[in-house]
Amino acid sequence: MATAHLSPALAVSSSRHLTSKHGQPPILAQPGGTAVLRSCSLPLSSRLAASGRGGWRLAAALEPRTAQQEKAEASSRLVLVVGGTGGVGQLLVASLLSRKIKTRLLLRNPEKAASLFGKQDESVLQVYEADTRNADGLNPEMFEGVTHVICTTGTTAFPSKRWDGDNTPELVDWDGVRNFVSAMPQTVKRLVLVSSIGVTKYNEIPWSIMNLFGVLKYKKMAEDFVRNSGIPFTIIRPGRLTDGPYTSYDLNTLVKATAGERRAVEIGQGDKLVGEASRLVVAEACIQALDIESTQGKIYEISSVKGEGPGSHQEKWKQLFAAAESN
């Protein structure tokens, strides 16, 4: 397991086609096989604070990405986000657009994107109307030119108002994921799926309580489908989500959202991690996984704790993911 600190800077945009329109911080070996990375919060801060349980600290200068690097990154990709107006999705879209990365959304209700992200040019953000629960409605045109995909769809574990209109775990977490993954071209460079901790233990207490209506079972079935799809993937399993959803926020407010004091990031493997995860932390982890080659074909659990975090600094995230794999 690896522990570190995170706080991402976010920004957003929207369109049906409808058109709306760094010095590296050390990782410290700790008793019990835990690696701890202490670093700065976002946006691109100039100071790194690192501390292990022994209590020492370190400062290091960090260099932000150059404008040329950001421009090259933005022009070379088209990221499709499924679930882009949900709690994690809206923050993720905001962050992609703040990085000037062309983004496409698949939404049941395209008008919701306009209310969240404002009117955007099609060169920045495209929105297609689609329902992943309906396989026949997933037109191949929706995937044209797409280089990366992030899926953040989901519903509540227990019956709630969100289940209205056949929005159950089986239909959203299983049928929906299976349908859109089946429709995806094999040319996609990376698929990042947001799942949940506890999916491998849904028959065990206390996870079996959360799984009374099958949410963990269906998420695990979706994970297995993705793993066997032949598409390069990364699976992110967050703990209980905090910070948001910011359903009444607009673009300007979303870009200022922060994870409060819980910006430190803990990453593990083997479904052993427990705890809570800031939606901002999860959104940043998904974006980072797109570019960090070592995360391909891997599954990670993630939570957030008090402290500063890696922000959007890729080298810090690389160390976090690598530390999780070494423990």
Is 145 domain-assigned? Answer: yes
Q: How many domains does the chain have?
A: 1
Within 10 Å of residue 89's Cβ, how many Cβ atoms? 26
More confident residue, 81 or 110: 81
CATH number at residue 190: 3.40.50.720
Q: Which domain holds residue 81?
A: 68-325
> What stretches of the chain adopt beta strand conformation (E)?
2-5, 28-30, 34-36, 79-82, 103-107, 125-129, 148-151, 190-194, 233-238, 240-242, 264-268, 276-278, 298-305
| pLDDT recorded at residue 180 | 96
Name which of 21-35, 58-72, 91-105, 256-270 the model is least confident about: 21-35
Is 72 domain-assigned? Answer: yes
pLDDT single digits (tens) 20-63: 333 343 333 333 333 334 333 333 222 222 333 332 222 222 34
Is 59 domain-assigned? Answer: no
Within 10 Å of residue 173's Cβ, how many Cβ atoms? 27
DSSP category for residue 270: S
Is 130 domain-assigned? Answer: yes
Is 36 domain-assigned? Answer: no
Distance CA 108, CA 241 (A): 23
Is 121 domain-assigned? Answer: yes
Percentage of the chain modeled with pLDDT above 90: 57
Is 304 domain-assigned? Answer: yes
pTM of the complete model: 0.76
pLDDT (average), residues 120-138: 93
Q: Confidence class of residue 121 from pLDDT cuts 50, 70 and 90? A: confident
Q: For residue 25, say if its preceding peptide bond is cis, omega within 30 degrees of 0.
A: no
Helices (H), 76-157: 87-98, 110-117
Is 142 domain-assigned? Answer: yes
Q: Confidence class of residue 244 from pLDDT cuts 50, 70 and 90? A: low
pLDDT single digits (tens) 130-149: 999 999 999 999 999 999 99
